Amino acid sequence: MSEFDGRDAFDGELLDLYVPSALHHLRVDRVLSMLTGLSRAGAHDALTSGAVSVNDKVVRKPSTPLEEGQRLVAVLAPRPSDDVIPDPTVPLEVVLDDEDFVVVNKPPGQVVHPGAGQRDGTMVAGLLARYPQLHQLSVDGHCEPSRPGIVHRLDKGTSGLLVVAKTPEGYVSLSRQLTERVMERTYLGMVEGHIDEERGVVDAPIGRSARTPTLMVVRSDGRSARTNYEVMGRVDKPFATTLLRLSLETGRTHQIRVHLATIGHPIVNDLRYGHRRDARLEDERVFLHSSSLAFHHPRSNERVETHAALPLDLAALVPSSLGL
């Protein structure tokens, strides 16, 4: 056993290796802990979240034994070595500021929390500078140090609304509303091609790609995912596109982008799941905007609704005839 050091196959975010004889018949949760430094609880969370696969099949049971020659892949969230350093220079557009939460309109290009690709200049750093009490949420064990108050997130290239908890009561309530699908999240997105029907639902499970583990795909053993869409208008030039209003019943990683690409209508300028055309957008910018967010107040239970108009870069691609 001492001759094998599988940590060489782990870069801090992706573990990808073929099981050697030294790990034959060991439990998958134990192997994950050995190779990544995760606690047993952390390995269990990675398994139940669908981030681990053996021979291209998602494995969720911690006691599953591994066999020599199997391919073990785990895509793990990066673990920060230190707390995020507050940064008052990070721009924040606060839409609603409450004792228990804050709703922010995230600009495109801003990363929500630190990860393997970016440590500094994140939205979390700006939030901590403005609301230092967020740090206590991680100290008390409610959140990871790199994600204090973060209930849900938006991709770097996506703009719009997201809510961040400021108190333990807010975090518990908002997280529960997200899990129980009480929180309503509506997006505006433009996709390639003309969608014929006026409205529809994409109901297809999503999991990690076996070929490229950093990508998400529709797969039978993935987690359930439902995306509703409604046509707002169709555009012919410079190429055929359809503007959609989208609502999520679930919140899987890259859900909207994967679902729309799967039905043959990828989000405009989505280089990861679609194509690059002359959309006059920055390379990492996708035509996807979180336009409205609704939930119940953590204390009063009153309904809270917030809205954010399309930013200028996306609005420029929408004909005035569509009335947005």
Contact (CB, 8 A) for 202 and 254: no
From the CA atom positions of the chain, what is the Rg in Å?
Answer: 21
- pLDDT band (50, 70, 90) for residue 10: low
Query: In CATH terms, are 80-180 and 181-297+309-324 the same topology?
Result: yes
pLDDT of residue 45: 84
What is the average per-residue pLDDT within 260-288?
Answer: 88
What is the average per-residue pLDDT within 125-138?
Answer: 91
Task: Name the β-bridge partners of 203.
Answer: 226
Task: Count Cα neighbours of 204 within 13 Å in the Cβ-side half-sphere.
Answer: 18
pLDDT of residue 160: 98
Range from 102-111, 146-155, 202-211 that averages highest in pLDDT: 102-111
Structure token pair of residue 265: 């209508």
pLDDT of residue 168: 94
Task: Name the β-bridge partners of 179.
Answer: none
Contact (CB, 8 A) for 49 and 32: no
Structure token pair of residue 28: 């998958």
Q: Where are the beta strands (DSSP E) in 50-181?
A: 52-54, 57-58, 71-75, 94-97, 101-106, 159-165
Structure token pair of residue 141: 């064990």
Sign of CA dihedral 142, 146, 148, 149: negative
Per-residue pLDDT of 12-57, as tens digits, reads: 578 888 998 888 999 999 999 888 877 777 888 889 888 899 999 9
> 0.95 exceeded by the pTM?
no
Q: 147 to each of 27, 163, 164, 277, 307, how far by Cα in Å?
A: 30, 13, 10, 34, 24
Per-residue pLDDT of 151-178, as tens digits, reads: 999 999 999 999 999 999 999 999 999 9
CATH class for the domain made up of 6-75: alpha beta
Tell me the domain boundaries of the chain: 6-75, 80-180, 181-297+309-324
- pLDDT band (50, 70, 90) for residue 199: very high
pLDDT at 81 exceeding the cut of 50: no
pLDDT at 83 exceeding the cut of 80: no
Looking up tokens 């055309």 gives: 277
Structure token pair of residue 19: 């099981």
pLDDT at 82 exceeding the cut of 70: no
Active site residue 278: no
Angle at 102 between CA 101 and CA 103, to 5 degrees: 125
DSSP secondary structure string, 8-71?
A: GGB-SSEEEEEPPGGGTT-BHHHHHHHHH---HHHHHHHHHTT-EEETTEE---TTPBP-TT-E
Tell me the fold of 181-297+309-324.
Answer: Pseudouridine synthase (3.30.2350)
Quick one: CATH architecture of 80-180?
A: 2-Layer Sandwich (3.30)
Contact (CB, 8 A) for 50 and 57: no
> What is the spatial distance between Cα 253 and Cα 283, in angstroms, rounded to a whole number?
20
Determine which one of 29, 100, 155, 270 is catalytic. 155
Contact (CB, 8 A) for 152 and 162: yes
pLDDT at 280 exceeding the cut of 80: no
Q: 219 to each of 15, 117, 259, how far by Cα in Å?
A: 20, 27, 11
pLDDT of residue 3: 43
